[in-house]
Amino acid sequence: MAKSIREIKRQIVSVKSTRQITKAMEMVAASRLKKAQQSAEASRPYAEKIREVLSHVTAVARDVDHPMLETRPVKRTGYLIITSDRGLAGGFNSNLLRTLMQVLKEKHKSPDEYALMVVGRKGRDFFRRRNIPILDEVTGLPNTPDFSDIRQLAGKAVDFYANQTFDEFYLVYNVFKNALTQIPTVKRLLPLEHISQSAESADYEYEPSPEAVLQVLLPKYAETLIYSAVLESKASEFGAQMTAMGSATKNATKLISSYTLQYNRARQAAITQEISEIVGGANAQS
């Protein structure tokens, strides 16, 4: 019985130590989530302004000829999958990758029909284990990435589409709704068909011409949308991590209560047995 008590006590100490870690990780994730949300919100005015200018340019430009606006027969599809470098974030990565694999299974008959670009070690390792080729990858992004951290990858994605390495391009990432909810999303980015042409936009003067401005702005707009998706994914990652660590802390607390109850019962049983042995020995000598 004494050995059982010692074992339960070791379990209580171990779970308490784990709870301290998960609680600390929950607090860190909460702090990072706040910063990630602020970064995501700060990037929106820039993206909206580019969209506004593009709406006006596409309305006034004549004979617009840009590959990013052209819809062509789809022979190969490109996907940019945004995952995390670390785990301990619940179903953040697994749900997203499961959604993508389902899309690939339903939409494509062979791996030759798609090309993958990956952000994050979790996604990279997932595809490597399955021997699925990766066109390009980025790992080790900071908690609050700058545009310079993904500029090269975003530029390559735009170039791959312009050079017809693939004929349409999708972003695969988690949309942040709140700390409890992250929505795996597969969103088409290229070709850019969703730029609305608003007659109410401001009156701009273009130098040298609207067509020349469009040639520069279209790639910038696509790169900005990729960067926004990365920021959105970071907020989702920290929200998922905060929720997962919060659940782990609650479970550890319940487990400690259960072990403490077992410990008290085992200790009470041991004391009762000792008293019974003493009383029995005294009665035997009387």
Q: Which of 1-10, 189-198, 227-236 has the highest mean pLDDT?
A: 227-236
210-218 mean pLDDT:
78
Contacts of 130 (CB under 8 A, 6+ apart): none
99 and 79 Cβ atoms separated by less than 8 Å: no
Q: Is residue 156 part of a domain?
A: yes
114 in Cβ contact with 121 (< 8 Å): no
Domain total in the chain: 1
Read off the pLDDT of residues 11-49 as tens digits, 9 standing for 90 and up. 999 999 999 999 999 999 999 998 898 888 888 787 777
Q: How much is the average pLDDT of 242-263?
A: 93
Question: Domain for residue 240, yes or no?
Answer: yes
Residue 7 lies in a domain: no
Domain for residue 30, yes or no? no
**Lowest-pLDDT choice from 80-84, 95-99, 250-254, 275-279:** 275-279
Q: Say if 31 falls within a structural domain.
A: no
- Identify whether the C-beta of residue 123 lies closer than 8 Å to the C-beta of residue 81: yes
Q: What is d(CA 13, CA 16) in angstroms, rounded to the nearest whole number?
A: 5
Closest by CA to 82, choosing from 280, 211, 227, 274, is 227
**Under 8 Å between Cβ of 116 and 133:** yes
Of the two residues 172 and 272, the one the predictor is more confident about is 172
Say what the pLDDT of residue 53 is: 76
pLDDT recorded at residue 200: 53
Residue 267, domain member (yes or no): no
CA 245 from centroid of its chain's CA atoms: 16
Domain ranges, residue 146? 49-244
**Any domain includes 44:** no
Q: What is the pLDDT of residue 195?
A: 63
* pLDDT value of position 1: 46
Q: Report pTM.
A: 0.84
**pLDDT tens-digit profile of 97-119?**
999 999 999 999 988 999 999 99
Integer Cα distance of 159 and 165 in angstroms? 8
- Within-domain flag for 220: yes
CATH of the domain at 102: 3.40.1380.10
Specify which of 54-68, 111-125, 212-226 reaches the highest per-range mean pLDDT.
111-125
